[in-house]
Amino acid sequence: MNRTRSTPFQRKGRARGAGRCNSDSRIPLNPPSSRRGKTAYVLLAVGALALAPAALAADYSLANGAVKFSAPDGWPMLMEKLDGPRQFVALQVKTPGDTNALARITVTTEQVDGIAGFQKFLDDGTARARKLPGYVAANTLGNSSSLRYTATENREKNAYTETYAYRSNLAIQIRCIRPVAAPPDWRATFDAGCRSIVSAAEKTP
């Protein structure tokens, strides 16, 4: 897999702060009380905000570029496997105020032998899901290659969405896991990010 993220990951197009302030640019301990002096300090504050790094997306690819997707820089990588017939990237999505939860999105690819190999890949993934503690199946996403369910992890009830795709002897799984009880606005952001990654990973390059 080729990643374009900077250390510890190579990143593509990530904005960074421009330079550092030297000792000559320090704000005086006793600033002037005139309106002109106050205006100068306001401009300094605005300039400092302008130098803050922007939050851009990090780009990923698996299986020699056959699967490509992007994710926000605020979703750090947990694990990755970059070689062999089975590759994956796991991203963490920070959950506000919940130390037990580990929301994450994992994209996995595996070289398989035709449709029969893909069916085994899908069956194996479904079997693993059913073995999770507290597994309860929910409605599918509208086709036989998608699965939605809830299960328990670290005493936390999580919602799982697994989407499977097949393309030219390559099996693809996108697995999105988040706490059921997370705040609604956070859930909406997570679900939108999951759908975006699914759409990109399923797309032919």
Closest by CA position to 86, among listed 170, 4, 5 = 170
Inside any domain, residue 191: yes
In contact, 90 and 80? CB cutoff 8 Å: yes
Q: Pick the residue with more confidence: 191 or 155? A: 191
Q: Residue 57: its pLDDT value, please?
A: 76
Inside any domain, residue 165: yes
Residue 109: give its domain's CATH number: 3.40.1000.10
Amino acid in position 41: Y
Cis previous bond, 133, omega within 30: no
Helix, strand, coil % in the chain, rounded to nearest 5: 25, 35, 40
Query: Which tokens is 7 given?
Result: 């250390």
Q: Which long-range contacts (CB under 8 A, 24 or more apart) does 187-193 make?
A: 190/93, 190/103, 193/71, 193/72, 193/75, 193/93, 193/105
Please give the radius of gyration of the chain, using alpha carbons only, rounded to the nearest integer: 22
Inside any domain, residue 39: no
How many domains does one find in the chain? 1
Inside any domain, residue 47: no
Inside any domain, residue 173: yes
Inside any domain, residue 113: yes
Inside any domain, residue 61: yes
Cα–Cα dist 136/196, whole Å: 25
- pLDDT for 4-51, tens place per residue? 443 333 333 333 333 333 434 343 434 444 444 444 433 333 333 333
Residue 172, strand partner residues: 109, 165
Q: Report residue 155's pLDDT band, with 50, 70 and 90 as the boundaries.
A: confident
DSSP H helical ranges for 9-106: 35-50
What is the percent of the chain where pLDDT is above 70?
68
What is the percent of the chain where pLDDT is above 90?
56
Inside any domain, residue 62: yes
In contact, 60 and 174? CB cutoff 8 Å: no
Q: Residue 39: its pLDDT value, please?
A: 40
Closest by CA position to 93, among listed 193, 4, 204 = 193
Phi, psi dihedral angles at 7 (to 5 degrees): -55, 130
Q: Residue 205: its pLDDT value, please?
A: 75
The residue range of the domain holding 181 is 57-202
Kind plus residue range of the DSSP H or E element containing 60 = strand 57-62
**Averaged pLDDT for residues 151-177:** 94
pTM: 0.71
Q: Report residue 79's pLDDT band, with 50, 70 and 90 as the boundaries.
A: very high
Where do we find the tokens 């899901």? 129
Q: Residue 46: its pLDDT value, please?
A: 35
